[in-house]
Structure 1
Amino acid sequence: MKHRAIGAVLFGVGVLLLALAAGLVFVVTPALAKLPYDLDSSTSVAEASNAKFLQINDGSIKINDGNLRSTVLVTQLPKETANLTGDLDGKAVVWRVGQTVERVDNKQLVSAYGAELALDRVSGEALKWDGQWLDDAGEQDKGIRFAGQIYKFPFNTEKKDYQIFDRDLRAVRDAKFAGTENIKGIETYRFEQVITDEPLNLGDRLTPLLATFAPGATDGKVVYSNKRTVWVDPVTGSFIKVREVQKKVLTPNVGTPTTLLDADFAYNDATITASADRAKDSRDSLRLLSVYAPIGLVVLGLALLAGGVLMGRRASAVAAGEARHRADAPTRVEEPVRDADATDERVEVDRQGGPLSDEIPPASTNWRTDEESTVPAQRPAVDDEAEKR
């Protein structure tokens, strides 16, 4: 019974460990492979050397040359996230993103924008949300419709083409998978998006540009080109490195085109290192819960299952042996069978008594034997008449 009980316990624990391993793979890991609700703020810095850029300062519009630094700050908004309703509730998180571009030499601001948007927690795609807005011209544009990948790719990114949202175009364009590359110990997926001479909708902002750089023009346009390359950690979908080779050219209907922007922005080494470290931490956590822990639990669970089965078989074997032993052992001594006459003779002999006989002799009516008597004989009774005489 003891072996059988131990075997049952081992088998039960083994089943429990296998169930726990399945839970880690199919329940816990998918829950972790999502943007968290308590995401820490992150900053990424990209730098462009020897850039040509438009700078508007105190009403002065000029084309300058120099080094630029772009800083993007991403902050999660818990309150706005908690207020999401409908299909977005539990599916999305709200981010606030701000970017500034400044000159490295004198810290003067060149451009800036701010935005709030909702992102899918798994795919990283921008989702339709009534509260989204973009401000890149001093006024919030609440009619903006973010879509596609913007600041993140999906968890478990695939080797396929994706769409990346471009803020200048206010639309998505294809980003093609272009291969893999090891960056800071992470095998990243490289995606390339190429935008060539597409017109920008600047609205009223076009008028001062024409007045400054093409006074005789009555109309014109600004065409925009960008070769955007993104290196993505395929496990977490995080950007490890980003490079954008941007160009904007004012093309008036009369006069010479003017280059408003010609800059090659790329993440600096500190940003790449920080991005890789964050990705490694997330990868390690996911790998621990989705690979190492389940494998360990499965191995241990199978070992306990096998141990439980062996203990159960051993208990059965012991029980079977004991049963056979009881079946083979004599339980009582059989009396030999005799015929009736022999039985009667044995009874008669036994009745003769003897020192070892358990037969009780019949009671005697006389205390005196024939040879000798030690007890006086009883006198005969005398009738009443003789007694009186």
Structure 2
Amino acid sequence: MRSRVLGSVLFGLGILALVFAGGLAFVVAPAAARLPYDMERTQSVAEAPNAQFLQITNGVAKVDTGTLRSTVTVQPDAKTTADLEGDLDGSALVWLVGQEVVRTDTNEVVSAYSTSYAVDRQTAAARDWNGQWLDTGSNRQSVKYTGHMYKFPFGTEKKSYDIFDRDILKAQPARFVKTEEVGGLETYQFVQEITNGRQDLPKDRLDAILGQLMPGATSGSVAYANTRTVWVEPTTGQYIRVQEKQSKTLVGNTGQSVTLLDALFTYTDDTVAKSADAASANRQKLLLVGVWGPLALALLALLLIIAGAILVTRRAAPTTAPRHAHPRHAADEDETAPIR
């Protein structure tokens, strides 16, 4: 009787463990694979040694050579996120992003921008939102973001993803190339090649540059090219390393051309190490609730169910003593009994 009660208890615990395993796999894990509302501010630094770049100081334009440092800061805008409505409410975050490029020898600012846009909490792709804007220092303008910029989806796959380029203001595909270990993690490498691009500058700025760098030209345009390579940790979708080979060339209607930018930006070793550490910690959390936790609970459930079933179905042991096949005579039972 006791074994049957114990077996029933173990069987019930096994079913409960199985329910918890399913809850972890199908409820907790999907919820964990979403950008949190309280995500921490992140900062990435890339440097470009021996770069050619346009420097405008006090209205004077000049092409210089030196090392550039680019710092990109991404932080959540909690107040604006709380005001999101409709299908964005609960499924999107608003990010405030800023970039500043300085020359390392003088710390002078070469270029800067700030922007705000809504990002999907699961795919990390830009969402359609009428509150997005871009400020390049001269004016704040509306912009329509699409694709990815600073993160790939949770569970990144070996396929192409669109990455938005701020200079041409549109997204173009980045194709999967190979897997490669970076910072102790297996990453997916993606390459985006932008050729024959064009950067639109405000007319007053373009005219000022033309007048100083290309006398005689009355009109012109900026040709832009960029080979962008990103190394992504696939479970989290986090960027571990980024490299950009950028070039900008001013082309005048006189046939002349002047290089405005020729630089190879690459994440610093410190940024790669910090990115890898953060991705590794987040990866372990996702694997715990999405893979190892459910598997351990499912195994425990199986053992409990089997043990419970064995105890419930086990036959009870006999409780009566066996009879002798040949009962002895009374005289044999007591050899000292008197003879009558």
**TM-score of the pair, normalised by structure 1:** 0.80
**2:89 aligns to what?**
89
- Rounded to whole Å, the distance in 2 between the matches of 1:214 and 1:101 is 25
Residue number in structure 2 paired with 1:34: 34
Q: Partner letter of residue 225 of structure 1?
A: A
- 2:137 is the counterpart of 1:145: no
Give, in whole Å, the separation in 2 of the partners of 1:255 and 1:125.
Answer: 40
Paired residue type of 2:316: V
Deviations along 1:87-131, whole A, 9 cap, x unmatched? 101110111000000010110000000001110011110011111
Amino acid at match of 2:138: G
- Is the CA contact (8 Å cut-off) linking 2:194 and 2:227 kept in structure 1? yes
How far apart in 2 are the matches of 1:301 and 1:132? Answer: 49
Measure, in 1, the Cα distance between the counterparts of 2:60 and 2:251. Answer: 20
Counterpart of 1:318 in structure 2 is: 316
**Residue 236 of structure 2 is aligned to residue 248 of structure 1:** no
Greater Rg by CA = 1
Whichever residue aligns with residue 149 of structure 2, its letter is I
Structure 1 runs of 4+ aligned residues shifted over 2 Å read none
**Structure having greater relative contact order (Cα 8 Å, sep ≥ 6):** 2
Higher strand share: 2
Cα deviation 1:272-313 (Å, max 9, x = unaligned)? 000000000000111111121111111111111011101101
Q: Is the 8 A contact 1:195 1:226 kept in 2?
A: yes
Q: Secondary structure at the match of 1:190?
A: strand
RMSD (Å), alpha carbons:
1.5
Q: Which structure 1 residue ranges, 5 or more long, are not aligned?
A: 330-389
What is the TM-score of this pair, normalised by structure 2?
A: 0.92
Distance in 1, matches of 2:60 and 2:253, equals 23
Asked if the contact 1:214–1:255 (Cα under 8 Å) also holds between the matched residues in 2, the reply is no
Amino acid at match of 2:8: A
Is the counterpart of residue 3 in structure 1 residue 3 in structure 2? yes
Give the deviation of 1:255 after TM superposition.
Answer: 4.7
Tell me by how many angstroms 1:138 deviates.
2.3
The residue type equivalent to 1:18 in the other structure is L
Deviations 1:157-192 (A, max 9, x none): 000011100000100111111111100111110110
Q: 1:67-216 residue pairs with structure 2 within 5 A? A: 67-142=67-142, 144-204=143-203, 205-216=205-216
In structure 2, the gaps of 5 or more residues are 324-340
Provide the identity percentage.
49
Aligned 8 A contact 1:52 1:263 in 2? yes
Quote the residue 2:233 is aligned against.
233
Give the partner amino acid of 1:104.
T
1:214 partner amino acid? M
Structure 1 distance, partners of 2:137, 2:247, is: 19
What is the deviation of 1:137?
A: 3.5
Provide the C-alpha distance between the structure 1 equivalents of 2:138 and 2:259, rounded to a whole number of angstroms.
Answer: 23
Distance 2:153 2:245 in 1: 24
